Amino acid sequence: MSLGPNLKGALLMTASMGAFTLNDAFVKLAAQDLPLFQIVFLRGLLTTTMLALLAAAFGQFTFRIPHEDRSRVAWRTLFEITAMVAFLMALVNMPIANATALLSALPLVVTVAATVFLGEPLGWRRMSAVLVGFAGVMLIVQPGTEGFNAWSLSALLAVVIITGRDLVTRRFSPGLPSMAVAVITAAAVAVFGGLLSLTEPWVMPGLREAGFIALAAVFIIGGYLFSIMVMRVGEVGFTAPFRYTSLVFALVLGLAFFGEWPNALALSGAAIVVATGIYTILRERAVAARARRSAAAAQPRPEAH
């Protein structure tokens, strides 16, 4: 069964969230013994190398960016770096639940921005799915008001920057290889991480830490590629709620890697997020089926002889 653009986008968004969350888990494990930006730098070197080899294997190792995409790639790279810095600054200065809660506003902001700036359709059902998913996320993260402070503005800034990144990605021409954009992104993050790592004392990584960094590099490759691909297929209003699956992945990985047992509210929120995604997919399939039936009914029937 072939998937339509929206269902492909939903799968790509879910895969992207899973890959990024696995990357975060291994970075967190490595950060128990290594400085943060040293990890970002080493992971970036591995990621860039592996992506370049992968691009060469698929015949996409090219930096011949179409003229109309050059400024867009530059802006997207700048957005990627500044969003990373803005969110990390918030993350190290405020409770992780509160920072995550602020970042969870992203699907809502991206959905509205795509409607305003790109003219994409946004019906009440899709908007409801985004809002219901957001309610589920709030049950998972359960932010406390005492943790919100001036650094909250940094997390909100990250939301705005990521929205800009996704809107720019949406305007890429079909001839621009996603692999090339991922290589450029990984290299830029590695360079910037290397510069920031000079402000920290360096620590020689052991085999355990090196393994975590290597795994983080592998998964962030998927995150980079899928996050680029998802903004080039389907409708933003449809795929946006699937960003919330990152919180479900985080619950599972928190339990598996860190022994963090979710409470009843968090489990209820995860169930809401999953149910929202299932409803969105089933409705899309029903709409597509009706469209196919309408198209078939509209075709002229052959005359009887």
263-297 residue pLDDT tens: 788 788 878 888 887 887 777 777 777 877 777 77
Q: In the numeric block, which tokens belong to residue 156?
A: 């909100």
Question: Helices marked H in the chain — which ranges?
Answer: 5-30, 36-57, 70-91, 96-103, 106-118, 124-141, 152-170, 178-197, 207-230, 236-239, 245-258, 264-298
Pairwise CA distance, residues 156 & 152, whole Å: 6
Q: What backbone torsions phi and psi does residue 65 show, to the nearest 5 degrees? A: -75, 130
Tell me if residue 244 falls in helix, strand or coil.
Answer: helix
Domain boundaries, the chain: 5-287
DSSP state, 302?
Answer: P
Residue 83 contacts residue 165 (beta carbons within 8 Å)? yes
Residue 247 in contact with residue 273, Cβ under 8 Å?
yes
Q: Mean pLDDT in runs of 10 for the chain (305 residues)?
A: 80 92 88 90 95 86 85 94 86 68 77 83 79 82 66 86 92 88 91 92 94 95 91 83 83 82 79 81 76 74 56
Mean pLDDT score across all residues of the chain = 84
Residue among 168, 189, 222, 176 at smallest CA distance from 63: 176
Neighbour tally for 138: CB within 10 Å? 16
Is pTM, for the whole model, over 0.85? Answer: no
Identify the CA nearest to 189 among candidates 65, 52, 19, 48. 48
Determine the Cα–Cα distance for residues 21 and 227; give it in Å rounded to an integer.
13
**Contact assessment for residue 218 and residue 27, using Cβ atoms and an 8 Å cutoff:** no
pLDDT of residue 216: 94
Burial 64-74 (b: 16+ CB within 10 A, else e): ebeeebeebbe
Distance CA 174, CA 240 (A): 21
Q: Are 84 and 189 in contact (CB under 8 A)?
A: yes
Residue 70: its pLDDT value, please? 92
